Structure formats: C-alpha cells, structure tokens
Amino acid sequence: MHRTTTATTHWRRTCLTIAQSVCLLLALPAGAAAQDDDLFARRAWHVEFQAHGAIETWNYNVSHENMSGLVPGFTYGLGKSTVLLVHAPLYYVDQRGPDAVLLGVTWGVRSRFLKWDAWGAYWEVEVGISKSDAFTPPGGTRFNYIAQGGAGVTRRLSPNTELLAGLKWIHISNNGLAGRARNPDIEAVGPHVAVLTRF
C-alpha cells in the first residue's frame, strides 16, 4: 500500500512538472515565419519529440498503473490543416507486481480546428500495437493494442520549430486475444508536450 501511494505521488509530480514546463514554453516569444513553414502545411515533414505522463483514471482490473514515456516520431501534411502521425512510443509502466517497459508503434491523424497568429488548437487520434517486457497490466499479456486521443494547443517558436502541448488519453489492452479472463486494460490521462522541427 505504501509503495502504491509513493508511486502515485511520484507520477503526479511528473505530470505536474510536464505541465509547468508547458506553461514556461508557451510563455516564450514566437518567431515570425512564412505560411509554408506552417506545422500543418500540405506535404511538410516534421520530426517530433514528445514527453507524456499519464495517471490511470479508471480501470477494470485489480491493479493501478501510471505511465511516463518518450515518444519520437514524424508528421506529414495531408492538406486542409491535417497531418499524418507515425510514432514509436517508449513507456515505463509503474504497476503492481513487476513494472514494465513498453515499446510500440502508432499511426493516426492530427487536425487543427483553430488558428490565430502564432497559436493553434488541435485534436488527434492514434492506434497501434505494442510489446512489453512484463505482463501489462498484471494478468494480461505482453502484446497489446494501443488507442490514443488528445487535444491541445500549438505555438510557433521559430520559423522551423513549433511547440505542441495538451492532454492525452491512452488505452492499452489485448482485445481478448488471450481470452476474456486475460484482458485487463489501462485507461490513463495526462499532459504531453512536444517539440516539432521541419526537415
């Protein structure tokens, strides 16, 4: 019980640190840039480096999981303020029993629905697969599917660099591949922040 309380406090502090970093970065002055350097421009490629911390908000298993991860990837502009996302998330999963390291690949779309000066607002969805070095969550399997959704804001930092920050929900389960008795899931929500650079 003490370990669970300590771990939960640690992950709450991690999420708070990410949120504080977001506020600091958003306060930086924006750089001027041409329209074709837009994060959502058609056929524009960007490398993305993201950090995400998530606390389980509800679950259907006996465990409680918290996650923190680094999520590298890239985006490609499809047009109409929409980009293709491809990520390779690497998460540390704090859970009852052996903790796990989870590596996955996800793909999806991010779309901007508001834009003003150097700012924008977006939503995104992704799906994918993952493999971990321990059953994730306990009682489940090492192979799992991933579903994610999020929303937030973007801010231009320089002609070729943008900051993205918001909240992201992540779902992990095996969709009953090993039977209904071995299909616990993770439902976690937390802040994420990313820096994107055009190439």
Query: What is the 3-class SS of 12-63, one letter each residue?
Result: HHHHHHHHHHHHHHHCCCCCCCCHHHCCCCCCCEEEEEEEEEEEEEECCCCC
User: For residue 19, how many C-alpha atoms fall within 13 Å in the half-sphere facing its CB?
Assistant: 12
Check pLDDT > 90 for residue 163. yes
Taking the CA atoms of the chain, what radius of gyration do you get in angstroms?
Answer: 18
pLDDT at 8: 55
Range with the poorest average pLDDT among 45-59, 107-121, 169-183: 169-183
Q: What are phi and psi of 34, to 5 degrees?
A: -75, 160
State which amino acid sits at residue 151. A
Q: Give mean pLDDT, residues 20-31.
A: 51
Structure tokens belonging to residue 170 = 């992540």
Q: How far is residue 67's CA from residue 136's CA, in Å, rounded to a whole number? A: 11
Number of structural domains (the chain) is: 1
Q: How far is residue 65's CA from residue 20's CA, in Å, rounded to a whole number? A: 23
- Provide the Cα torsion 91, 96, 141, 187; round to 10°: -60
pLDDT at 199: 82
Q: pLDDT grade, residue 55 (50/70/90)? A: very high
Contact of 194 with 177, CB cutoff 8 Å: no
pLDDT at 15: 55
Q: How far is residue 152's CA from residue 166's CA, in Å, rounded to a whole number? A: 4
User: For residue 177, how many C-alpha atoms fall within 13 Å in the half-sphere facing its CB?
Assistant: 12
Q: pLDDT grade, residue 32 (50/70/90)? A: very low
Q: How far is residue 117's CA from residue 33's CA, in Å, rounded to a whole number? A: 10
Contact of 134 with 172, CB cutoff 8 Å: no
Q: Give mean pLDDT, residues 3-18.
A: 56
Full domain range(s) for residue 111? 2-198
Continuous segment of H or E residues that includes residue 8: helix 2-26
Q: Give mean pLDDT, residues 151-164.
A: 93
Closest among 88, 61, 66 to 15, alpha carbons compared: 66
pTM for the structure as a whole: 0.80
Span 98-154, pLDDT tens digits: 999 999 999 999 999 999 988 999 999 999 999 999 999 988 999 999 999 999 999
Residue 180, SS3?
helix
CATH classification at residue 88: 2.40.160.20
Average pLDDT of the residues of the chain: 85
pLDDT at 58: 80
pLDDT at 13: 61
